[in-house]
Structure 1
Amino acid sequence: MVVLREGICPGLNQDLVQALRNVDIRTVEDLVSANLEELAQKCSVSYKALIAVRRVLLAQHAAFPVSCADLYEELLSSTAILSTGNHCLDKLLDSGLYTGEVTELIGGPGSGKTQVCFSTAVHISCQLKQSVVYIDTNGGMSANRMLQMLQAKTSTMEEQMAALQRIQVFRVFDVFSLLKCLQNISAGEVEMACVGTSVKALILDSVSAVLSNMLGGKQTEGMSLMMQVAGELKTISKDLSVAVLVTNHATRDGSGQLRAGLGQSWSHVPRTRVLLHRVKRPGASSGLRLATLTKSSRQSCQVEEEFDLSGWRGPEDTKAGYSGKRKLECDNPGVG
């Protein structure tokens, strides 16, 4: 609700504002919905002046209808899909990570959340030639492990170093540092080491590491901080057209079923959620994981896919660019 005051539009001077207040017209909504002929007589002001002021206020503050076709065209032009580099996971995610959305990986310790984050960051930086912001909140980041993954993708030292430069790492270990980091990214104050590439992915591993100890009991501040983090992540994804991937721990409910941590309020933040399990069966690889889609606006939920963390690269790990809405070739890194 916008309060009428001098200077918010041409013609609305202090005398007119005061005259309107005298007849209980205090907001833009009050003015545009009033009968201007009667209002002009009550206030002893020019009817034409009121018409002119209302026209400007409507142009500045009213919502105008947009057709669904226009909205769809805007979606197509602004949305890209980034492959994770794993065919099975991409299949669950309806081709990959969508810019403008928050995707969440949940699972217990050892479920492979951090490994998936590493592999996704490496694929986006090496194969798609796009920059990644990687926020590490639990000390799990390993540049050596990322280099090993890159060495499996390319034997050229120059390409390996270029890919590492496209991954900007921030280490934050409390929620206040995380918020400051996210606000800097949102404000465009983060400079990438590799100039000329656009940031298309933000990976936060993990969001629960800095929020879990702030929630529950008599700690009322924790909920507010959690929603501030959620707001910043959504702003970055929408305003900067970035694909956001976060990890979260899993807990068990009363029936023993695994569910995402951080409670009901956080559950509305991610657009897509995937639960990771370690697969334990005779003869199975130690890297075998089961991924279950538990939340999605595009796919049927409770669909499952198995994949092997130790064999992340596969026949689908090609040098294609984005898939889906907008596809860019890997050898055209300046586009984005």
Structure 2
Amino acid sequence: MVLLREGLCPGLTVDMVKALQTEDIRTVEDLVSSDSEELAQKCSLSYKALVAVRRVLLAQHTAFPVSGADLYEELLSSTSILSTGNHSVDKLLDSGLYTGEITELAGGPGTGKTQLCVSVAMNIAHELKQNVLYIDTNGGMCASRLLQMLQAKTTNTVEQMNALQRIRVFRVFDVFSLLCCLQNLRACGLQKGSVGGGSVKAVMVDSVSAVVFCMLGGKQTEGMSLMIQVATELKMIAKDYNVAVLVTNHVTRDGNGQLKAGLGQTWSHIPRTRILLQRANRPGAPTSLRTATLTKSSRQPCYLMEEFDLCEQSAEELKSRFSGKRKLDTTA
């Protein structure tokens, strides 16, 4: 709601604003929705001047209609899809991480959330040659593991170093430091966090729950507010700078004993897409085998499941040993 004030548009003088306020016309909405002829008589204003001001304000503040086709074309031109390098996860994400959105990996300890994040960062930096900002809140980012992944992809040391330079790691261990880090990145347009001033295509936070969960519940009333601030910063980064945001979260159990993402109902609306990671507890299955279940998506049917091996076995090899994608029984 825009208040009427001097200089808001040509012709809107102090005397006109005061005259309009005597008839309780205080906002642009009040002025454009009133009868101009009747208002001019009550306020002793020039009808011609009042209509001219009204037309200018309408042009300045009216939302013009945009067709669905134009919106779709704008979406296509601004959205990029970043492959995670994991065939199974890409299938669940409908080809990969989408820029402008928040994607969440939820899972218990040892389910591979951090390893998958590191693998995604490596793939974006090496294969796609894009810059990545990795915010580590639990000390799980291991440079030696990242280098091992790169060495498995290429033996060229120059390529390895170039990929490593495209990944910028920030270590924060409380929610206030996380907020400060996100705000600083947004304030400088993400450029200071990238190599050589290049653009950043992905921001990862591993994990959000590690610094937020301890602030929720009990007598700490500010915890929910801090969580919303973190969510707002991540959404603004994703939208304003057209980057893909990937976060990790812990899990809890609902009333029926089923696993669900943590941080409560409020946080559940923040990610556009959510994947639940679990160990594949099946006779004969390797300990490194994981299941990825799509629990929230605007593009794919929910409760699709994929299996993948943390030891980076090929998708074809996994398919020959196990069943691959399967549909969960939602009635169970």
Taking structure 2 as the reference length, what is the TM-score of the superposition? 0.92
Contact 1:137 1:171 in 2 (8 A): yes
Distance 1:230 1:107, change over 3 A: same
Distance 1:313 1:45 in 2: 78
The 2-side partners of 1:203 and 1:193 are apart by 13
Distance 1:61 1:312, change over 3 A: farther
| 1:51 matched residue in structure 2 | 51
In structure 2, the residue matched to 1:38 is: 38
Q: Which amino acid aligns with 2:256?
A: S
* Match in the other structure for 2:324: none
Aligned match of 1:328: none
- Ranked by relative contact order (alpha carbons within 8 Å, sequence separation 6 or more), the top structure is 1
Matches within 5 A, 1:1-336: 1-187=1-187, 188=189, 190-195=191-196, 197-311=198-312
Q: Give 1:192 shift.
A: 4.0
The amino acid across from 2:78 in the alignment is S
The one-letter amino acid of 2:57's match is: L
Match of 2:322 in 1: none
C-alpha distance in structure 1 between counterparts of 2:176 and 2:313, whole Å:
34
**Aligned counterparts of 1:78 and 1:190: Cα–Cα separation in 2:** 19
**C-alpha distance in 1, partners of 2:313/2:170?**
25
Paired residues of 1:122 and 1:150 also in contact (CA < 8 A): yes
Q: Write the distance in 1 (CA, Å) between the matches of 2:286 and 2:305.
A: 18
Taking structure 1 as the reference length, the TM-score comes to 0.91
Deviates more, 1:280-289 or 1:94-103: 280-289
Q: Is the contact between residue 131 and residue 194 of structure 2 (CA under 8 Å) also seen in structure 1?
A: no
Whole-angstrom distance in 2 between the partners of 1:118 and 1:59 = 50
The answer (yes or no) to whether the contact 1:131–1:200 under 8 Å persists in 2 is yes
8 Å CA contact 2:191–2:199 kept in 1: the answer is no
Distance 1:86 1:280 in 2: 21
For residue 82 of structure 1, report the CA deviation from its aligned partner: 0.4
**How many residues end up aligned between the 2 structures?**
316
How many angstroms apart in 2 are the aligned matches of 1:57 and 1:194? 45
Q: Deviations over 1:39-58 (max 9, x none)?
A: 11111111122122222222
Deviation (angstroms), 1:75: 0.6
1:176: Cα distance to partner?
A: 1.3
Counterparts of 1:181 and 1:56 in 2: how far apart (Å)?
42
| Inter-CA distance 132–67: structure 2 relative to 1 (3 Å threshold) | same
Kindly state the Cα deviation for residue 190 of structure 1 after the two structures are TM-superposed: 4.1
Conservation of the 8 A alpha-carbon contact between 2:147 and 2:160: yes
SS at match of 2:117: helix
Aligned partners of 1:236 and 1:189: how far apart in 2?
9
Cα distance between partner residues in 2 of 1:58 and 1:234: 31
Is the CA contact (8 Å cut-off) linking 2:88 and 2:315 kept in structure 1?
no
CA distance in 2, matches of 1:3, 1:213: 42
Change (3 A) 1:193 1:182: closer
Change (3 A) 1:145 1:296: same
Distance in 1 of aligned mates of 2:35 and 2:284: 80
Question: Once the two structures are superposed, what CA deviation does each residue of 1:144-189 show, in whole Å capped at 9, x if it has no partner?
Answer: 1111111111111111111011011111111111111111222215
Displacement after TM superposition at 1:221 (Å):
1.0
Structure 1 residue runs of 5 or longer lacking an equivalent are: 317-336
Mapped partners of 1:289, 1:76: distance in 2 = 33
